[in-house]
């Protein structure tokens, strides 16, 4: 399966299993979503379970908060993560706080899916990676898969989670892995082992990371598209990197991170999002606190530049394998 098909399958499984599950957002109903993630779901499960909404993100999430509090399990879509900002009030002030402020008498089992990340010539408002804006909010969970297998298992877990989950989908990975070489030929998920997705129900625990490549030289903390960029970079640099796909940013699997950095003594954090106050800052702080006496070289972060995502100069902006490879080499030299 592609990641698109895996996500669709996750929603299909939950729609069939739980009458409380609802899917809605802009163009997700009859048309099946601008990325086809919900194609066929309305025809199969009916308009009362899968439907189109007006173009208003605050309305989409606000309705979902009310529904979730009443007992439904809404899994809603924001067409691009770049357009989540009108819903920021509902997500951060309402969904995230409802359980806490009502002393657990109202809860918000809600998933907000949103395509994220660049590498597609999306320009300023089709490429952003706003994860750090959500990891700063107590009460939210923040998840970002990098494979079709994880996408399905994590989305099922997110729909079943009793708390609100921000589910970021790297759209660059929708149809196949992307190692950052935009000039090279891209291959689809059918030729990648993680494209093997089981039928039916399975889930992956939110809050667990996955070691994608075992190594001894340096730990790379990555998520989304950057997992594959890191793989390419390790090969290019000839460094035996241990690449950890965080999968869940909040809560964070600190145990897996700590075990790796204590082994390697070196750590490079990679993300597409801009650098200043990005999630990388949090990762570096956690690693420094947890692994200080094991560190052999300064912690580094390779990220998008502190500028809005450009169109023409995309590949100078996107943290590609060359930049990551240089960081890996530097980590070994320091």
Partner 1 sequence: MTGQPKLNFPHPPARPDQTPNFSAIEIPAAGALDVPPLDLQSVDSRDYANGMIRVLDDEGTAVGPWAEYIADLDSDALLQGLRDMLRMRAVDKRLLNAQRQGKTSFYLQCTGEEAIGCGFQRQLSGGDMNFPTYRQQSLLIAADYPLRDLMGQVYSNGCDPLEGRQLPIMHSSRDYGFFSISGNLGTQYIQAVGWAMANALSETGEIAAGWIGDGATASNDFHAALLCASTYRPPVILNIVNNQWAISTYTGVATGGARTYAARARGYGIPALRVDGNDYLAVAAVSKWAVARTRAGHGPVAIEWFTYRVAAHSTSDDPSAYRAKDEAAAWPLGDPVARLKTHLIGRGAWSEERHVQAEAEILDEVTKVQKEVEAQGTFVNPQPTSPATIFKGVYAEMPAHLRRQRQEMGY
Number of C-beta neighbours around residue 211 at 10 A:
14
Least distance between partner 1 and beta carbon 175 (Å): 33
204 CB contacts (<8 Å, ≥6 apart)?
150, 153, 154, 157, 247
Q: How far apart are CA 152 and CA 121, in angstroms?
A: 26
Instruction: Spot the catalytic one: 45, 126, 179, 271.
Output: 126
Query: Of 106 and 315, which CB lies nearer to partner 1 in the complex structure?
Result: 106
What residues form DSSP beta bridges with 23? 50, 75
Least distance between partner 1 and beta carbon 285 (Å): 12
Query: b/e for 225-241, b at 16 or more Cβ within 10 A?
Result: bbbbbbbbbbebbebeb
Q: How far apart are CA 34 and CA 80, in angstroms?
A: 10
Number of C-beta neighbours around residue 305 at 10 A:
15
What residues form DSSP beta bridges with 269? 221, 301
Q: Please, are residues 32 and 3 in contact by the beta-carbon 8 Å criterion?
A: no
Number of C-beta neighbours around residue 326 at 10 A:
15
Residues making contact with partner 1 (CB under 8 A): 20, 22, 48, 53-54, 56, 58-59, 62-72, 74, 86, 89-90, 93-94, 97-107, 138-139, 141, 162-163, 207, 251-252, 254-255
Q: How far apart are CA 305 and CA 322, in angstroms?
A: 15
Query: Of 56 and 313, which CB lies nearer to partner 1 in the complex structure?
Result: 56
Query: Of 22 and 112, which CB lies nearer to partner 1 in the complex structure?
Result: 22
Least distance between partner 1 and beta carbon 59 (Å): 4
**CA triplet 249, 88, 169: central angle to 5 degrees?**
45
Query: Of 22 and 331, which CB lies nearer to partner 1 in the complex structure?
Result: 22
Q: How far apart are CA 247 and CA 154, in angstroms?
A: 9
149 CB contacts (<8 Å, ≥6 apart)?
6, 194, 195, 196, 197, 198
Query: Of 1 and 21, which CB lies nearer to partner 1 in the complex structure?
Result: 21
| Phi–psi pair at 161, nearest 5 degrees | -70, 140
Least distance between partner 1 and beta carbon 245 (Å): 19
Query: Of 91 and 237, which CB lies nearer to partner 1 in the complex structure?
Result: 91
Least distance between partner 1 and beta carbon 70 (Å): 4
Residue 201 a catalytic site member: no
Least distance between partner 1 and beta carbon 167 (Å): 16
DSSP-derived secondary structure for 251-277: TT-HHHHHHHHHHHS-EEEEEEEESTT
Query: Of 102 and 313, which CB lies nearer to partner 1 in the complex structure?
Result: 102
Least distance between partner 1 and beta carbon 172 (Å): 29
What residues are annotated to the active site? 126
């Amino acid at each position: 399966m592609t990641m698109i098909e895996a996500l669709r399958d996750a929603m299909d499984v939950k729609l069939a299993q739980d009458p409380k599950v609802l899917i809605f957002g802009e163009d997700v109903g009859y048309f099946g979503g601008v990325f086809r993630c919900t194609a066929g779901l309305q025809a199969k499960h009916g308009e009362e379970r899968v439907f189109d909404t007006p173009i208003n993100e605050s309305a989409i999430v606000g309705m979902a908060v009310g529904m979730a509090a009443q007992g439904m399990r809404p899994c809603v879509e924001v067409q691009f993560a770049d357009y989540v900002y009108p819903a920021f009030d509902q997500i951060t002030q309402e969904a995230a706080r409802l359980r806490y402020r009502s002393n657990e008498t109202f809860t918000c089992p809600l998933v907000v899916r949103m395509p994220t990340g660049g590498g597609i010539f999306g320009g300023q408002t089709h490429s952003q990676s706003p994860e750090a804006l959500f990891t700063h909010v107590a009460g939210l969970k923040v998840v970002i898969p990098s494979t079709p297998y994880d996408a399905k298992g994590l989305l099922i877990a997110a729909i079943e989670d009793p708390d609100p989950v921000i589910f970021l989908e790297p759209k660059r990975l929708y149809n196949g892995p992307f190692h950052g070489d935009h000039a090279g030929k891209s291959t689809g998920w059918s030729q990648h082992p993680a494209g093997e997705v089981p039928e039916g129900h399975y889930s992956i625990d939110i809050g667990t990371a996955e070691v994608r490549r075992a190594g001894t030289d340096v730990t790379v903390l990555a998520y989304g598209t950057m997992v594959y960029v890191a793989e390419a970079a390790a090969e290019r640099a000839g460094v035996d990197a241990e690449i950890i796909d965080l999968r869940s940013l909040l809560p964070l699997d600190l145990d897996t991170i700590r075990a790796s950095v204590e082994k390697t003594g070196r750590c490079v954090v990679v993300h597409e999002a801009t650098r200043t106050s990005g999630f990388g800052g949090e990762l570096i702080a956690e690693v420094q606190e947890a692994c200080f006496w094991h560190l052999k070289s300064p912690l580094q972060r390779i990220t998008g530049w502190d500028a809005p995502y450009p169109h023409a100069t995309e590949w100078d902006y996107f943290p590609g394998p060359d930049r990551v490879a240089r960081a890996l080499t530097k980590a070994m030299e320091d």
